[in-house]
C-alpha cells in the first residue's frame, strides 16, 4: 500500500471510534429532548432572532416542487417541514422522512396522523447508512450535515438517487466570521442540549455541494451562523479520491 493511501487508511481507522461516539451522543441528545424541540424552534430560538421556520419555508421554495413529486426530508425530526412539503406535492406525491431518533419520529408520526396524510413514510435510520431510493425529485435537509462524518459519501449517494433535474437544498451551520468569539460560544452552549458543538459549524458541506451539483446557490443566514445552499443534478459529478 502506498504511503499516501496508508496514511488515509490509518486516519479513517483512528477517526471511526470518535465518529461513532459523536453519533451516539447526538442521537441520545435528541432522544432525551425530542419533546422540547418544537418549543425550542418556535419560541426559544425566535427570542434570539433566529427564525428557523422562515428558513424552512425558503428552503422548500428552493426545491421548486410540483404536484405529484417524490421528496425526501433527510433528518426530518418532528416533521416541521412536512406541511410545507405536502402543500407542494399534494396527495399524489410521495414524502419520506428519515431520522435517527425514534422519539423525534414518534412526534412526526403524530403530526402525520393528525393531518391525515396517507402518502408520508417515516423511516428510522442512520443517515450515513441509509440506502436512498431512486428518481427523487427533491431532497431537503435542515440542521443535519454538521453532525455527519461521511458528508461526501452521503452527498454522492444523494446525487445518484436524484432524478434528472432533481434538487437538493440544505440549511446548516458554519462558523460566523463577524461574530465575537464569546457570542458564538454562548450560542453553542445554549444549543448543546441538541448535541451542538463548535465542530458542528466547521464542515465542508457547501464545498461538496458546489463540486457535485450544478446551478448551485448559497446564501448566508442569521449573520453568517447559518446558510442555505441549493443545487441541481444535470450530469455525473466529478468524483475525486
Q: Which residue has the cell 426545491?
A: 63
Average pLDDT of the segment spanning 17-31: 73
Residue 160 has pLDDT above 50, yes or no: yes
* Residue 115 and residue 82 in contact, taking contact as beta carbons nearer than 8 Å: yes
d(CA 76, CA 74): 5
Residue-wise pLDDT for 49-68, tens only, equals 999 999 999 999 999 999 99
Residue 30 has pLDDT above 60, yes or no: yes
Average pLDDT of the segment spanning 147-167: 96
pLDDT band at 17 (very low <50, low <70, confident <90, very high): very low
Residue 20 has pLDDT above 90, yes or no: no
Highest mean pLDDT among 12-16, 20-24, 186-190: 186-190
Residue-wise pLDDT for 208-223, tens only, equals 999 999 999 999 999 9
Bridge partner list, 179:
none
* Residue 128 and residue 150 in contact, taking contact as beta carbons nearer than 8 Å: yes
Residue 155 has pLDDT above 90, yes or no: yes
Average pLDDT of the segment spanning 175-198: 93
pLDDT band at 234 (very low <50, low <70, confident <90, very high): confident
d(CA 175, CA 61): 25
Q: Quote the pLDDT of residue 52.
A: 93
* The 3-state secondary structure of 118-172, one letter per residue: CCEEEEECCHHHCCCCCCEEEEEEECCHHHCCCHHHHHHHHHHHEEEEEEEEEEE
Least Cα distance to 141 among 208, 239, 190 occurs for 208
Residue 18 has pLDDT above 80, yes or no: no
Residue-wise pLDDT for 92-151, tens only, equals 999 999 999 999 999 999 999 999 999 999 999 999 999 999 999 999 999 999 999 999
Tell me whether strands 136-142 and 70-74 are parallel, antiparallel or unpaired: parallel
d(CA 171, CA 144): 8
Q: Quote the pLDDT of residue 8.
A: 37
Residue 7 has pLDDT above 50, yes or no: no
Q: Quote the pLDDT of residue 10.
A: 38
Residues in Cβ contact with 38 at an 8 Å cutoff, skipping those fewer than 6 apart? 78, 80, 107
Q: Quote the pLDDT of residue 235.
A: 67
- Helical H runs in the chain? 3-39, 45-47, 52-63, 82-89, 102-115, 151-161, 181-191, 205-212
d(CA 50, CA 212): 29
Confidence (pTM): 0.87
Q: Which residue has the cell 465542530?
A: 199
Averaged confidence pLDDT in the chain: 90
Least Cα distance to 93 among 71, 77, 113, 109 occurs for 71
* Residue 95 and residue 89 in contact, taking contact as beta carbons nearer than 8 Å: yes
Q: Quote the pLDDT of residue 236.
A: 60
Residue 4 has pLDDT above 80, yes or no: no
Q: Which domains does the chain possess?
A: 3-232 (3.40.50.150)
Amino acid at each position: 500500500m502506498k504511503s499516501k493511501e496508508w496514511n488515509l487508511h490509518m486516519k479513517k481507522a483512528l477517526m471511526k471510534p470518535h465518529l461513532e461516539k459523536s453519533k451516539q451522543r447526538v442521537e441520545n441528545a435528541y432522544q432525551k429532548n425530542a419533546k422540547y424541540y418544537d418549543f425550542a424552534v418556535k419560541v426559544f430560538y425566535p427570542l434570539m432572532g433566529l427564525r428557523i421556520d422562515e428558513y424552512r419555508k425558503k428552503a422548500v421554495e428552493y426545491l421548486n416542487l410540483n404536484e405529484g413529486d417524490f421528496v425526501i426530508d433527510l433528518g426530518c425530526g418532528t416533521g416541521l417541514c412536512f406541511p410545507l412539503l405536502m402543500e407542494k406535492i399534494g396527495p399524489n406525491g410521495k414524502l419520506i422522512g428519515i431520522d435517527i431518533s425514534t422519539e423525534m419520529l414518534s412526534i412526526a408520526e403524530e403530526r402525520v396522523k393528525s393531518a391525515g396524510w396517507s402518502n408520508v413514510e417515516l423511516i428510522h435510520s442512520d443517515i450515513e447508512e441509509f440506502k436512498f431510493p431512486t428518481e427523487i425529485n427533491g431532497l431537503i435537509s435542515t440542521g443535519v450535515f454538521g453532525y455527519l462524518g461521511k458528508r461526501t459519501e452521503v452527498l454522492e449517494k444523494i446525487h445518484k438517487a436524484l432524478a434528472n433535474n432533481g434538487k437538493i437544498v440544505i440549511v446548516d451551520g458554519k462558523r460566523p466570521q463577524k461574530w465575537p468569539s464569546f457570542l458564538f460560544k454562548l450560542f453553542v452552549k445554549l444549543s448543546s442540549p441538541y448535541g451542538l458543538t463548535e465542530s458542528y459549524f466547521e464542515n465542508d458541506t457547501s464545498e461538496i455541494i458546489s463540486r457535485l451539483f450544478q446551478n448551485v446557490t448559497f446564501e448566508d443566514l442569521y449573520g453568517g451562523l447559518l446558510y442555505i445552499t441549493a443545487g441541481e443534478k444535470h450530469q455525473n459529478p466529478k468524483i475525486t479520491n
